């Protein structure tokens, strides 16, 4: 428990994601952390101080000019107490204030007065996140050495879709644990190449064939491998995800483009993980102009795409090759069949028909298979699952070398 007895000041600002703060406090305390909550006026409009006091077990602070607190210099006391100042959710307004060095409320004053590290989990409308002013402020935030966790992408409370969602409490707790953990660089000297996300197979200039893959699992594996010391390259289809820290990224659209990049990069890879949901077929004749609606029925001829992971496994200098099998039935049967047919070293299988895991979910569960064994990785958030998978791949790779 890397958070055992760590003192965390949690700043809660005025965004709809503030309703998740109670769960965040509970999860931090479950990991052994001491939590003191500081709220802005806007934060109190979304969740009550009494709620956060109840789950944290400590009084909630919300005023810079509270006579009782300031008799003991409350903002200085909290600033010195903290091992980490975490702001979740962090609104565009609070981010702007911190970037400008303002101290007009208790939370921003603590940020100026503390010697502890600061981390923020941004939460705002997607247009606000992409606004030039916000992005300029984020550059200042990065220059100040403040950790930024998120934002995530998806449907927002206002109905918009895109970047701006606060990442889930489980992910934030994972970041906190990683922050305090002494990193063990078990993968130093290794180069991992990971495919992630969907592919898009064009029909005409405005239409394409694709699937529901979000890329979250592949990006989580990339992040976990990088944290463990590997050099990581992500070959990504079109996704709404930020590149994991310290990872190189190659963006592609089609399966053929991903195939080309995978073969080129895998030649110098230690491990190749084929996590992308690659389209099995592409359109035989891509139209140069938009197809107009006419007949009630339209037929499109499809041709098979190259099998990326199978072709990587055929390389003369073959990396340790890991496939993924996203199935809706007979998961073990199909996974073992792919393992043997494609000459893979390992395959990670999951049932995407199961509610709450797989495509577009923050959680997942996997069963990994190799020639003479298997291992269950139970349902958890994708960041934690990725860490377990990376460790299992490394362990299995070294077992193969010893045998």
- The rounded distance, in Å, linking the Cα atoms of 218 and 221 is 5
Q: How far apart are the first and last CA of the chain?
A: 34
β-bridge mates for residue 326, sequence order = 350
In 3D space, the residue among 11, 18, 89, 25 whose CA is nearest the CA of residue 57 turns out to be 25
In 3D space, the residue among 263, 264, 219 whose CA is nearest the CA of residue 240 turns out to be 219
Omega before residue 151 within 30° of 0, cis:
yes
Residue 354: CA count within 13 A, CB half-sphere: 15
Whether 158 sits among the annotated catalytic residues: the reply is yes
Do the Cβ atoms of 138 and 130 come closer than 8 Å?
no
- The rounded distance, in Å, linking the Cα atoms of 88 and 40 is 12
DSSP 18: G
- Which H or E run includes 366? strand 363-370
- The residue annotated as part of the active site, out of 158, 176, 247, 275, is 158
- The rounded distance, in Å, linking the Cα atoms of 195 and 218 is 7
- The rounded distance, in Å, linking the Cα atoms of 361 and 128 is 24
Residues in CB range of 72: below 8 A, 6 or more apart: none
- The rounded distance, in Å, linking the Cα atoms of 50 and 325 is 47
Do the Cβ atoms of 128 and 158 come closer than 8 Å?
no
Compute the C-alpha angle 81/82/86, nearest 5°: 155
- The rounded distance, in Å, linking the Cα atoms of 122 and 90 is 5
Catalytically active residues are: 158
């Amino acid at each position: 428990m890397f958070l055992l007895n760590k003192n965390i000041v949690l700043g809660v600002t005025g965004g709809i994601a503030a309703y998740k703060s109670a769960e965040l406090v509970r999860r931090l305390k479950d990991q052994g952390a001491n939590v003191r909550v500081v709220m802005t006026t806007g934060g109190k409009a979304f969740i009550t101080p009494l709620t956060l006091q109840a789950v944290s077990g400590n009084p909630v602070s919300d005023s810079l000019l509270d006579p009782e607190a300031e008799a003991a210099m409350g903002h200085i006391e909290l600033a010195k107490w903290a091992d980490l100042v975490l702001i979740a959710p962090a609104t565009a307004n609070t981010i702007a204030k911190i970037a400008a060095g303002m101290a007009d409320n208790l939370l921003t004053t603590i940020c100026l007065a503390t010697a502890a590290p600061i981390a923020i989990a941004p939460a705002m409308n997607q247009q606000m996140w992409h606004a030039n002013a916000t992005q300029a402020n984020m550059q200042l935030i990065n220059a100040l050495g403040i950790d930024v966790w998120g934002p995530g992408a998806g449907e927002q409370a206002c109905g918009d879709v895109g970047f701006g969602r606060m990442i889930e409490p489980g992910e934030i707790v994972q970041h906190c644990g990683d922050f305090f953990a002494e990193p063990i660089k078990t993968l130093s000297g290794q180069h991992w190449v990971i495919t992630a996300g969907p592919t898009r197979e064009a029909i005409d200039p405005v239409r394409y064939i694709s699937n529901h893959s979000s890329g979250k699992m592949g990006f989580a594996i990339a992040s976990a491998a990088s944290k463990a010391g590997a050099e990581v390259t992500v070959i990504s289809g079109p996704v709404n995800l930020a590149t994991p820290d310290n990872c190189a990224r190659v963006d592609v659209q089609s399966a053929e483009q991903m195939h080309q990049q995978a073969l080129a990069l895998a030649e110098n890879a230690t491990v190749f993980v084929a996590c992308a949901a690659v389209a099995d077929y592409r359109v035989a004749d891509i139209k140069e102009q938009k197809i107009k609606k006419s007949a009630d029925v339209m037929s499109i001829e499809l041709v098979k795409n190259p099998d990326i992971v199978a072709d990587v496994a055929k390389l003369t200098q073959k990396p340790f090759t890991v496939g993924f099998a996203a199935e809706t039935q007979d998961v073990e049967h199909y996974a073992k069949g792919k393992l043997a047919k494609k000459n893979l070293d390992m395959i990670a299988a999951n049932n995407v028909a199961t509610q709450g895991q797989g495509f577009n979910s923050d959680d997942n569960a996997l069963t990994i298979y190799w020639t003479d064994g298997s291992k269950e990785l139970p349902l958890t958030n994708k960041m934690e699952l990725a860490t377990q998978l990376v460790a299992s791949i490394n362990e299995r790779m070294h077992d193969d070398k010893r045998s």
